[in-house]
Chain A
C-alpha cells in the first residue's frame, strides 16, 4: 500500500518550499507523512496596510525570507542538508512573481545537493495535507476552499485528480473578504464574518446560487452583490444595518450551497471519505455543518488542523510524496506556472 514503509527500508526526507502567495514556507517531511518541521513566515502584517496582497511586495518579502526559513526548517527538523533526498516546490497556481522566488530557490537547492526536484501543484498540496493527519480511502471527495480557490475534486485513486466543480467567479475566501470589507472589518476579514455570524440572533435571508441542477460549480459574486444591495437599501431608508444578521445570512447561503453540492457529489460518486481543505476550512460554521452532514450520510470527514489548512510547505511535501514514490521528477528548467492545471499534475502511474 502507498506510503507504508517496508520494514528495514531507509527513511527519506523531502524538503519543500511554498511561496505561491504571501507566506514564505519551508518544511521537512520524513517518509511522506511525518512533519519534522513546517516553518511559515507570514507577510500578513505587511499586506494588511494595503487592504490585500500586493504581488510586488510579496515577491520582495519572499527573497528576504527564503534562506532564513530554509535554515530554520532544517535546524528544527534535526536533519542536515546531506540527508535531504529531494526538493519539492509549489510550481503553481499562484502569483507568478511570488512563485518564481520559491521555484528558483528550489532548483538551485536541488542542483546544489544533486537531488531530484519535484514541481508540485498547490491545490494537490491542500488536498494531501490530509495525508499528514490520516489515511485517505479512495474514492475520496475533496472540498477545497481558500482565498483563491473553491473546487470539488474527485480522487478516484491515489494521486489522480478530477475537478467536478469550481467557482465561476469569486473564490469563497475572496467573497468572505469582500463582504467583510463591506461590514467594515479590516483585511483579511473572513474570520470576522464567521465569528459575527455565529453571534447573530437573527438572519437576513439571502439568495442561494445553485446554478444548473446538475452542476457542481459555484458562483458567489451575486451573493456578494446581494449583501451590498442590502446595506444600501437600509441606508436609503435611514435604518441601521444589522451587520450580524447580514453576516449570518451570507454565511448560511455560502454553507448551504457549498456543503449541499459536496454532499450531492459524495453520494453520486459513492466516495468513502470527504476531505475539507484550504484556509477557509478554519471557518467554524462550515466545519460544523459539513461534519454533521457527513455524519448523517455515514461518510467519514477528514479535516487537517488549521496550521496545515492555510498555505504551508508541509502540504507541498505531502503531495510531492506521490511523485517521489513513483520516481516522477521535474527537470531543472521547471517553469513556475501561475495557471497550472490540477488534473494534468495527476500521477502518471497507479
Chain B
C-alpha cells in the first residue's frame, strides 16, 4: 500500500537488504554512494544488521536528522531474511519519522547485475536484453521476474515477481525469445547461481537461444536507486501496513486452503 505526496528535491537514502545470503546496506545521496557494506554471514543477518547500520551511518557522517528516506528490499527471498530488513526498516522509519520505501529485491538484483554487465561490456551492447533475476527457492523452484533493458537506458518490467519451477521458466524464456518479432533478446539470468540453477538454466542452451548465467550478489545501492526513483515519483509506503512480499502463502495456509477447496 502506498500514497503519494510532493517529492523532496534531494534526499539521503538509507537502504537495507537481507533477502539473500548477502547482508547489504548503503547510504546514497542523489545518486552518489556515501558508503555501503556487504557481508555474507548467512543466518547472522539478524545479529549484524543493526550494528552494521550504526557503523555505516557513522562512517558516512550521516545523522538520523539528515536522512530523507529508508529503503528496504521487500522480497521475495528467504522468509526470515526479508522479515529482518522489513522489521528494521519499519521500526527505524517509525522511530525517526522517516519516509519508508519498499522495493522489489528481485528488481534490485537485476538492476545491479545489469549495471555490472554494462560496465564489463563497454559500448558493445547491441540489441535488447532480458534481465532475469533468480534466487533459489528450493525444490527446483526460483523466485524470479523479467526485465527488459537496452543500451539506451530503457528499463521495463516484463513479469511480476513470483515463484516458478526453474526448468520450466528457463524453457519458457528460450521459447519466447526465439518466437518474438525482431532481434532475439540476450537473456541474462542473474543471482547467486548454485549447481542446481546452473543445471536448470544451462540445459537446452545447445538447441535454443542461450541463457547466460551472471553470478551476482545483492547490493543495497540498487535498492537505494530504485527507492530514489519511487521518491521522485512522490511515492511512499505506509509504515504500519508494510510487510514482506513473500510471493506465496505459508505452507500451512496453502494446505488449509487446499483442504477447504476439497471440502474436507
Q: Which residues of A contact B (CB under 8 A)?
A: 49-50, 54, 56-57, 59-60, 63-64, 66-68, 70-71, 81, 97, 100-101, 103-105, 107-109, 111-113, 331-336
Contact = CB atoms under 8 A, between A and B. Distances in A.
B86 to A, nearest CB: 6
B64 A112 contact: yes
Nearest to B252: A54
Contacts of B80: 59, 97, 100
Contacts of B253: 54, 57
A71 B49 CA distance: 23
A50 B250 CA distance: 12
B252 A50 contact: yes
B54 A332 contact: yes
Nearest to A107: B50
B256 A335 contact: no
Contacts of B46: 100, 103-104, 335-336
B95 A113 contact: yes
A63 B79 CA distance: 11
Contact of A109 (B47, B48, B51, B95): B95
Contact of B94 (A60, A67, A104, A333): A67
Q: Is the interface of B mostly helix, strand, loop or mixed?
A: helix
B51 A108 contact: no
Given A57-B250, A333-B51, A108 B243 contact: no
Contacts of B88: 104-105, 108
Q: Is the interface of A mostly helix, strand, loop or mixed?
A: helix
A236 to B, nearest CB: 28
Nearest to B96: A112
Contacts of B246: 60
Most buried by B among A81, A105, A112: A112
A332 B91 contact: no
Interface in B72-105: 79-80, 83-84, 86-88, 90-92, 94-96
A103 B246 CA distance: 21
Interface of B: 46-51, 53-54, 64, 79-80, 83-84, 86-88, 90-92, 94-96, 239-240, 243-244, 246, 250-253, 256
B95 A56 contact: no
Counting from the closest, the 8 A-B pairs by CB-CB distance are A112-B95, A108-B91, A107-B50, A56-B250, A54-B252, A105-B91, A67-B94, A104-B87
A94 to B, nearest CB: 14
Contacts of B251: 56
B47 A333 contact: yes
Contact of B240 (A71, A335, A336): A71
B95 to A, nearest CB: 4
Nearest to B97: A81
Contact of A68 (B48, B92, B240, B252): B240
Nearest to B100: A67
A104 B250 contact: no
Contact of B95 (A63, A108, A335): A108
B83 A97 contact: yes
B49 A104 contact: yes
A206 B80 CA distance: 44
Given A66-B90, A335-B46, A56 B84 contact: no
Contacts of B91: 66-67, 70, 104-105, 108-109, 112
Contacts of A336: 46
B244 A63 contact: yes
Contacts of B243: 60, 63-64
Given A66-B91, A100-B46, A54 B54 contact: no
Most buried by A among B48, B49, B86, B240: B240
A216 to B, nearest CB: 35
B250 A332 contact: no
B83 A59 contact: yes
A57 B95 contact: no
Contacts of A66: 87, 90-91
Contacts of B79: 56, 59, 97
Nearest to B84: A104
A54 B256 CA distance: 12
A109 B50 CA distance: 10
Contact of B87 (A49, A63, A113): A63
A101 B84 CA distance: 7
A81 B95 contact: yes
Nearest to A46: B253
Nearest to B95: A112
A100 B83 contact: yes
